[in-house]
Amino acid sequence: MTSKNLLPSWQPGLARDAILEFIERVTHPESLDFVPQEQRIATFDNDGTLWPEKPNITELVFLKDLMRFDEPRSLPIGAGLRQKIKHWLHHIHDELIEDTSLLIKEFRDGISTDEYHGWVSAWLEKAVHPRFKRPYTELTYKPMREVLDLFQQAGFKNYLVSGGSCYFIRPWSQQTYGIPPEQVIGSRLVTRLVDKPDGLAVEMAPVPWFLDNGAGKVLAIESQIAKRPVAAFGNSSGDIQMLRWAGTSPTSLCVLIEHTDDIREYRYSPGDDTLAAAIAHGWTRVDMLRDWQQVFN
């Protein structure tokens, strides 16, 4: 396989070269930078790195839709969630729906993770992005899926490390990204084990347990993977520490995705602190407008 056939959605240029050269350096047996397969760990932010985060983070759109849910569609929801939705429908106002703390904590209280997974899958089958009018899972970035495939073929174990909840990504990560649920790390509420008549269930409690963002991403990687990534991809300030952590590996690739294309996607700054870190640490910067021939499939 020649490098011409690799990453076909990428424009020839510095970013594409940096990725391909990195893969060659860490996998070629005679390379001085050779990395043994068990150390080939790559971590990827999700929102804004693998799929859009505008106009809103998809999980928040999902939670708002859930709260506005108006009986009875053919969605597989249990009695607990149905009752909860009825309660919310009668008691909430639109401004409350904008309260992300309510959305994330109180609304999920007592919902089992299995039930939540079922709802996510059902919602994703019907929901469409407000601007692109396509299902969200069809709107992952094609160039980044090529990167995931390239890394996997090169013997890497790819991990998703998201500021969103792991419970929102796990139902579709395997099919969409080729990443199994056990390689999805995310924010979490406290959970509790409940002995129900039909068996044991793991339910969410309205207590934040872990915020997988900023330094939290490093702590989660250390805690769950217990290996330092040699490659990391992110797009915002919540990814700075993860990219810095990967950057302390002897050989590493740290990539910042920059949203520069308001025609095909969105245009917004990663923030001054993120740009300063990218410059200070010499990260590879991806300019969506220039570096990607195609954004979506």
Nearest distance from C-beta of residue 37 to a second copy, angstroms: 11
Choose between 193 and 280: whose C-beta lies nearer to a second copy. 193
Size of the site for a second copy (CB under 8 A): 30
Token pair for 215: 């330094």
For residue 255, how many C-alpha atoms fall within 13 Å in the half-sphere facing its CB?
29
Q: Which residues contact 72 (CB under 8 A, 6 or more apart)?
A: none
- Binding residue for a second copy, selected from 58, 113, 140, 162, defined by CB under 8 A: 113
- What's 12's DSSP letter? S
Beta bridge partners of 294: none
Site string for a second copy, 15-54 (x = CB under 8 A): -----------------------x----------------
Choose between 227 and 267: whose C-beta lies nearer to a second copy. 227
Site string for a second copy, 180-219 (x = CB under 8 A): xxx-x---x--xxx-----xx-x------------x--xx
- Binding residue for a second copy, selected from 108, 170, 259, 285, defined by CB under 8 A: 170
CA distance 60 to 93: 16
40-59 as b/e: b if 16+ CB within 10 A: bbbbbbbbbbbbbbbeebbb
Tell which residue, 196, 190, 193, 201, has the closest CA to residue 108. Answer: 190
- Binding residue for a second copy, selected from 25, 105, 227, 267, defined by CB under 8 A: 227
| Contacting positions for a second copy (CB under 8 A) | 38, 113, 157, 166, 170, 174, 180-182, 184, 188, 191-193, 199-200, 202, 215, 218-219, 222-227, 241, 244-245, 248
